[in-house]
Structure 1
C-alpha cells in the first residue's frame, strides 16, 4: 500500500459550532497509522517511522481484522495511574529501541489505541469520501476487534463542542478536535476541515543546561524524568519569561551548577541552535514551571515560557501536564 500522509487539525482559539460539525476528545498520545494487507500488519508514526515490533499489544488488530485490507488512523496512548492518557508515559514507551527491554514496558506502560478514521477498505480508497461515511464504514469494519478487545476503542463522537470542551478542561485533558461531517481526508494542515482547540498548559521541568551569550544566560534547556532511567527527557529550551534576578542568580552560581556530563537522553538534543552562544550542562537540581501552547510531534514544547523557579523536588517533574 502507498503511504497516505496523515491529516492534521488546525489550531484555533475557540470551539467550532454548528450542525455540520462533530467533536472528539483530543487524545494525549502519538499518532498511530495501521496498515493491514494480506494478513500482515504494520504500525507507523505520523512521520512514517515503522514501530510494529515495539507495540505488540496492537497485534489484536491483525488477529481480528487481518483477512481484510485496510488503513486505519488513530492515537496510541498510555494511561497514568488515574486512567487518563499521559503524554509522558507514551513518550517513555515510544523511546524504546531495544526489544530486550520490551517486557518491562509492556507491564508498566501498556498502550491503548483510540481509533477515529479509516482511509482504505478492501481496495477502496476513502480519502475522497465524506467523514460521516468513513465513520460508518469504520464502525462496521472495526466491530470484530472493538467487541473482543480491551486495547482498541472507537473514539466517541459528540455533538456539543462547548460542553465537551468544558468537560475536558475539568478532566485536565488536552483539548478537543472539531471536524466537518462532509470533510475529505486531506494531508497535513492545508485545509479548513478539522480544527483543534487546546488549553493553556504548564509543566514542571528540570533545568539541565544553559546557553550563555555575553556571559549571561540566554536560554534554559529543560527536561523531565524519563521513566526508570537517570537521564532527563529533553523537552526544549526557553528564554521568554526569565527575569533579571533569575539571570543574575544563574550567573552567580554558574560554577556550582555546571557539570561535564550531559544530563539528557541523547535522542532529541541534536537540533539545538548554538549560533553565537556557549552551552554548559548543569547539575539537574533546579525545577521550574514552563508554560507552553502544545507539544510537537517529537514531544518538545511549542512556544514555551518560563513561569518561575520552584523548590519542588525533581521526582515531581514527571511530565504531568496541567491546564489553566
Structure 2
C-alpha cells in the first residue's frame, strides 16, 4: 500500500473565538511537517512539499511507535533553547543541513522534538473527513509518545487559560480549532484560528545594505518585500537586528551569488536604495516586528531566520504569518 499525499491545512490569524466549541493548542515555534509512516519507515515532508527526512534522523524511530499502522501525521518540528523554550533560532542549523556527518553531530547537540497534533490517514482509510475531536482521539490512541516526539495536550473551554499558559511558557500563542471541523488539506480556514502573543510574518529578501562599524564588510540590514494583491513585489521595510555573526556570514554566502544590478521590488525609498546590493528575490525569512504602518512598512523589526519551507510566491500582504 502507498499512502496518498496531502497538503497541510493552514490557520487564519484572528482573535479568540466567542461562539462554538473549540480546542486550543499551543502554537509551536518550529517547522511544519507531515510524517508518512509506512511499513515502519518514516518520510518527512515540509509544508512546501520537500522531503526533509535526512535533516531529522532522530525522528526515524517514530515508525516503531505507531503499533504497526500506516499513518499520515501532522505536526511541528521544534528545537528547544537552554531554558527549555522552543527556539526557531536553535532550529536554524538543522533546517538547512544535508551533510550526514554534520547532521549526526547536530542530533547530539541540537536534538529536535516532533509535536504531533493531527492525523490524516490510517492504513487504507483517509481520516480528513472526521471531526477534529475524533482525529485527536485516534492520534492519542495510535501514537506512543517517545523521547523525540510527543502528542501535546490541548485545552477545552474559553481559551483564556490556554493563552495565559502560552504566555507563561514564552510561546508564540495558541491555535483554536473547531471541535467538529474536518481537516481541509491545502486550505487556509477559520476553523483553525491562530491567536498570537506577538507578530511575526515572512518576507522576501530583496537586497541588503552594507554594515558600518563592527559590521563593516558584512550585511548591515536586509531589505524586505511582500507581494501585493496583484502579485507585484512591494517594499515592506528593513531589518537590522537579531543577527549573530555566524548568521550574517551565512546570509552573505547565500546572497552574493544572487546579486543583480536593479531592484526586484517596487516602492523603495531613496534612503533605503542608496548603497543597496540587490538580489534575486528567491529567499524567504521570518521577522518579528512591533507594528505594520499605514504605508506598508514594519517597525522595530528583529530577524528570526530563513524559512526554506516557504517560497517567495507564498509571501503576500493578505496572509499574515
Equivalent residue for 2:165, pick from 164, 167, 175: 167
Counterpart in the other structure of 2:13:
11
Give runs of ≥4 in structure 1 deviating > 6 Å: 267-272
Equivalent residue for 2:4, pick from 2, 5, 25: 2
For the Cα contact (< 8 Å) 2:176–2:192, is it kept in 1?
yes
- Partner SS for 2:4: coil
Counterpart in the other structure of 1:301:
287
Supply the distance in 1 between the matched residues of 2:259 and 2:161 (Cα, whole angstroms).
Answer: 42
Cα distance per residue 1:208-256 (max 9 Å; x no partner): 3476xxxxx99535464469566155xxxxxxxxxxxxxxxxxxxxxxx
Supply the distance in 1 between the matched residues of 2:77 and 2:156 (Cα, whole angstroms).
Answer: 24
TM-score under structure 1 length normalisation: 0.68
Counterpart in the other structure of 1:280:
276
Task: Tell me: CA distance 1:229–1:4, structure 2 relative to 1, closer, same or farther (3 Å).
Answer: same
Task: Tell which structure's C-alpha radius of gyration is larger.
Answer: 1
Structural mapping, 1:132-281, within 5 Å: 132-143=133-144, 146=145, 149-160=146-157, 161-201=159-199, 208-209=220-221, 219-220=237-238, 222=240, 224-225=242-243, 231=249, 233=251, 263=252, 265-266=254-255, 273-275=264-266, 277=273, 280=276
**CA RMSD, aligned part only?**
3.6
- Partner SS for 2:108: helix
Give 1:50 deviation, angstroms.
0.4
For the Cα contact (< 8 Å) 2:241–2:303, is it kept in 1?
no
Give 1:39 deviation, angstroms.
3.3
For the Cα contact (< 8 Å) 1:77–1:85, is it kept in 2?
yes
Task: Tell me: CA distance 1:227–1:210, structure 2 relative to 1, closer, same or farther (3 Å).
Answer: closer
Give 1:116 deviation, angstroms.
0.6
1:44 aligns with 2:30: no
For the Cα contact (< 8 Å) 1:127–1:186, is it kept in 2?
yes
> How many residue pairs align between the two structures?
258
Task: Tell me: CA distance 1:175–1:59, structure 2 relative to 1, closer, same or farther (3 Å).
Answer: same
Supply the distance in 2 between the matched residues of 1:227 and 1:5 (Cα, whole angstroms).
Answer: 36
For the Cα contact (< 8 Å) 2:30–2:88, is it kept in 1?
yes
Supply the distance in 2 between the matched residues of 1:37 and 1:17 (Cα, whole angstroms).
Answer: 40
For the Cα contact (< 8 Å) 1:11–1:197, is it kept in 2?
yes
TM-score under structure 2 length normalisation: 0.69
Cα distance per residue 1:33-54 (max 9 Å; x no partner): 1001233221111111101111
Give 1:23 deviation, angstroms.
0.5
Unaligned runs of 5+ residues in structure 1 are 212-216, 234-262, 282-296, 309-316
- Partner SS for 2:28: coil
Give 1:159 deviation, angstroms.
1.5
Supply the distance in 1 between the matched residues of 2:175 and 2:236 (Cα, whole angstroms).
Answer: 36
Supply the distance in 2 between the matched residues of 1:168 and 1:120 (Cα, whole angstroms).
Answer: 29
Task: Tell me: CA distance 1:230–1:106, structure 2 relative to 1, closer, same or farther (3 Å).
Answer: farther
Supply the distance in 2 between the matched residues of 1:62 and 1:218 (Cα, whole angstroms).
Answer: 43
Counterpart in the other structure of 2:85:
84
Unaligned runs of 5+ residues in structure 2 are 202-214, 224-234, 278-282, 306-321
Counterpart in the other structure of 2:206:
none
